[in-house]
Amino acid sequence: MDINQYLEMFIEESKEHLQACNDHLLELEKNPQDLSIVNEVFRSAHTLKGMSATMGYEDIANLTHKMENVLDEIRNSRLNVTPELLDVVFVAVDQLEEMVFNIAEGGDGKLNVEETVRKLHEIETGEIEVAATVVNNVSSTSLENYLTYDDYEMTVIQQSAEQNYYSYEISIKLREDCLLKAARVYMVFELLEKMGDVIKSSPSVEKLEDEDFDEQFYVAFVTTETQADVQKKLMKVSEVTEVIVNTVSLEQLKKRQSEAFEKEGSTVIELQTEEKPTTEVKATGEKQVATKNNQTHGNKTIRVNIERLDILMNLFEELVIDRGRLQSISENLHDSELEETVERMARITGDLQNIILTMRMVPVDTVFNRFPKMVRQLARDLNKKINLQVIGADTELDRTVIDEIGDPLVHLIRNSLDHGIESPEIRKAKGKPEEGTVILRAYHSGNHVFIEIEDDGAGISRERVLKKAIAKNIVTPEAATAMSDKQVAELILSSGFSTAEVISDVSGRGVGLDVVKTTIESLGGSIDISSTEGQGSLFSIQLPLTLSIISVMLVELGEEIFAVPLSSIIETAIIRSSDILNAHNQKVIDFRGKVVPLVFLEEVFEVPNERLEEEFHSVVLVRKGDKMAGLVVDSFIGQQEIVLKTLGTYLSSVFAISGATILGNGKVALIIDCNALIR
C-alpha cells in the first residue's frame, strides 16, 4: 500500500486528535472524577495509535500506546487523576505534537521518548505514587449507559414486538490492535441487516465510519433470529473478540428512560446552556443526548488543500483587476449595453469575492486553543494561580492574518502572566483573590477584528516606565512630566524597552514589545494599551478582516496615483493655505480643537510638481491609535476596492509604502503605509 497518498490526511487528523487531547486534559484537571472526559481522551489517543501504526510511525504508536494504558487505568477506576499524573501525560502529548510536526516538515517523526515512556509505565504499574483508591459511586458499565431512544425508535420497537420480532441490545468488541475498524463495522452491519433491522447505534453510524470510537460499539436490533444465533454469527466476523446480546422489552426501556431522565435531568439542562452547536454536545457518563435531528443535519465539510484556495484567490485577484479595467473602458465609451453588462459582472464578482473571502476565513480558535495549556504550565513555573477565560474563539479572520498573529499573542499573554499578575501572597495582601484572571477576547467590529488581552494584575507603573524611558533616552525628563497615563503605558512598545529587573524565559528574555507592535502594524493593524496601576491592563489589537482585497481612497500627486487604506482614514477635507500654522518647525492645522500635523506627500515621495502655491489644499485625515495626521495631496479620485500586491524582497524597505496595485487603466498605484507617517 502506498501510504504517501494518505500522509497529508494523517498529519491533519493527528493535529486534530492531539488538540482534542489537550482540550480534554485541561477539562479533566478541573473535573478529575468525570470519566466521560477520560473516555474522550482515550478515543483520540487510540485513533492516533492506530493511524500512526498503519503509517509506520512506530515512535508515535508506542508512546500513544503507553499513554493509552494509563488512561485505561483511570477510566477503569484503578488510578486517580492528579496534577502529577497530568504533568506526565501533557509531556507525552507535547512530544507527540513534536513528532507530528516533524513529519509535516518532511522528517521521519522519530524522537527519544524513553524517559516519558518509563514514567508512564511506572504510573501504570503503581511505581509512582499517583495511584489511589477507586473512585466512589462509579457504577459498572452496561448497555444502559450507551443506548437511549427517542419516541420514534420506541414506536419501532413496539411495532416489532407486535409482529413477533425479538428486540436486542448488542455490544460488539473488536481487537485492540484492529487497524481497519471501519471495515469490521461494515461487515457487522452487513450481517445484521441480513438478519433483521438496526434501530440505532452508539456511537452514531457517522462516527463508526470515521473510526471515531475505541474498540467497542453498541447496536439496537430487531430480528426473528434467536439470541444465541445472533451471537454466533457475529462472532464469525474477523477481529471481533466479544459479542454480548441482551433481550430487551418495551417496558424495560420505558422504565430505564424514566429513571435516566430523573437522574440526568440537571445534566441535560446544564448542557443546553452551553453556547455551542448542539451537534457537539455530549453528556457525562457517555450518555448520548443529541437528538436524531442533530445527527442528520450536521455540517457537511470537505478538506481542501490551502494551496488550492491561494490559487483561487490569486485568479480572483486578476479578475478584480480586469473588472476595474472593464469599468474604466465602459465609462469612456458611454455604451449603455456595455455599461449594463459590466454592472452585472461587477455584482456577480462582488458576490464571488464574498464567497472566496469567507472560504479563507478561519476561527481565531485555531490560535487561541494553544493558550490554555501554555497558561497552565506558566502558572506552575511562576507559582501563580491564574484563571484564563477565552471569549469569542469562533470569531473569524483571514488565514493570512491568523498565520502571523500567533507569536504576538504568545508574547502578550506571557507578558501579562509574568509582569501583570502578582503572586498569590501579594494579591492576598492587596485584598485581591489569590487567583488572577486573564481574559482573551475576540470580536468583530465593522471591517476589523479586535483581539484583547485583559488582566486584573498590577497594571503598568508610571514611575518605573518613565524612569526606564528617561534612562534609555526615549523621552526627556521635561516631556515625561506632561505625558498622560495612556502615553506612558504606550512607551513599553518602544524599541528595546523592558522594565524587567531580571531577564527571564517567560516574557521575552528582555526583548521589548516593539516586536509585537511591528508585526501587528505589518498586518495593517494597530495596538492600544490602557492600564490602571494596581487594577490591571488591557492590550487591544485591531486587525483587518483580510489582507488580500482592501478598500482604498485613490489620490493624485502630480502625475502619480497613490492609494490610502480606508481603514486608516477618518475623513477628507479641503483647507485654506491661511489655515496652516507652524508649531515646533512643523506645519499643523486645528482640526476640531485638536492640533494635527500635516504631511506633504509630494515631499515624502519626492514627486515632481511644478504647480504654483495654491489657495486650497486637499487633506486626508488618518489615524493610528490616538495619534492623527493630515496627508496633503493634489486631489481626491475616489474610493475603490483594490488587490494588494507586495513589492517583493528587493523593495521591502521602501519608506511608507506597504504594497502596490494595478488599476483599471493598467497603471500601478502605490499603497501608502499610514502608520509609518504618523509619529
Residues labelled as active-site residues: 46, 68, 415
For the chain, what is the largest distance between any 2 Cα atoms, rounded to a whole number of angstroms?
A: 103
Question: What value does the CA radius of gyration of the chain take, rounded to a whole number of Å?
Answer: 32
Q: How many CB atoms lie within 10 A of CB 237?
A: 17
Is 626 in a helix, a strand, or coil?
Answer: coil
* Amino acid at residue number 451: I
- Among residues 495, 551, 524, the alpha carbon closest in space to that of 658 is found at 524
Q: How far apart are CA 402 and CA 407, in angstroms?
A: 10
Q: Closest by alpha carbon to 617, among 626, 609, 605, 606?
A: 609
What is the Cα–Cα distance from 679 to 629, expressed in whole angstroms? Answer: 8
d(CA 101, CA 109) in angstroms, rounded, equals: 8
Distance of alpha carbon 127 from alpha carbon 385, whole angstroms = 30
Can you tell me the distance from the alpha carbon of 524 to that of 397, in angstroms, rounded to the nearest whole number? 13
DSSP state of 271: H
Cα gap 264→258, rounded to integer Å: 10
Would you state the cell numbers that stand for residue 569, as one nine-digit string?
482614514
Q: Mapping DSSP to helix (H, G, I), strand (E, B) and coil, where does residue 153 land? A: helix
Record the cell numbers describing residue 543, joined without a space.
486587525
Label residue 251 exposed, middle or buried (CB < 10 Å: 0-12, 13-18, 19+): exposed
Q: 18 exposed, middle or buried (CB, 10 Å; 0-12, 13-18, 19+)?
A: buried
- Distance from C-alpha of 536 to C-alpha of 540, rounded to nearest angstrom: 13
Edge-first strand listing for the sheet containing 435-445: 385-391, 435-445, 448-455, 536-544, 526-532
In DSSP terms, 643 is beta-bridged to 549
For residue 82, the tally of other CB atoms under 10 A from its CB is: 17
Neighbouring C-beta atoms of residue 477, cutoff 10 Å:
9
Under DSSP, is residue 118 helix (H, G, I), strand (E, B) or coil? Answer: helix
Cα distances (Å, whole numbers) of residue 654 to 86, 492, 555, 602, 673: 51, 26, 19, 15, 10
Listing DSSP states for 435-456 in one string gives EEEEEEEEEEETTEEEEEEEE-
C-beta separation of 184 from 172 below 8 A: no
Cell of 419: 509582569
For residues 549 and 538, what is the distance between their CA atoms, to the nearest angstrom?
A: 30
